[in-house]
């Protein structure tokens, strides 16, 4: 199992637009990934409802995990994405 821990950079946390951008990136990766708060139950990272239900706020940490082959590079790119203030980005 490959895991990464990341601090949420979006000022609104993983809500609405930041969650949608994250879920789109997970879906585009084509691999199964879970997301969880420390000590919490993992949710499928490709589920907008699952991601938003975490209630992860700015500055809180989440753990990404995958058992897929080649997950290292994908998880690294998702960590980079979550570190950004996705609500402030235009696009």
Listed as ranges, residues in the chain with pLDDT below 70 are 89-91
Cα three-residue angle 44-61-63, rounded to 5 degrees: 35
58 is catalytic: no
Residue ranges and CATH numbers for the domains of the chain are: 2-83 (3.30.1340.10)
CA distance 56 to 41: 13
pLDDT for 91 equals 46
**Using one digit for the tens of pLDDT, what is the confidence trace for 5-22?**
999 999 999 999 999 999
Which residue in the list 15, 46, 74, 86 is annotated as catalytic? 15
Mean residue pLDDT of the chain comes to 94
CA distance 86 to 52: 14
At 64, which helix (H) or strand (E)? Answer: strand 61-66
């Amino acid at each position: 199992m490959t895991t990464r821990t990341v601090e949420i950079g979006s000022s609104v946390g993983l809500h609405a637009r930041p969650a949608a951008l994250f879920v789109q990136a997970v879906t585009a990766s084509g691999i199964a990934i879970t997301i969880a708060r420390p000590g919490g139950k993992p949710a499928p990272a490709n589920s907008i409802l699952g991601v938003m239900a975490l209630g992860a706020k700015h500055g809180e940490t989440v753990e990404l995990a995958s058992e897929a082959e080649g997950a290292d590079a994908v998880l690294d790119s998702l960590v980079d994405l979550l570190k950004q203030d996705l609500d402030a980005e235009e696009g």
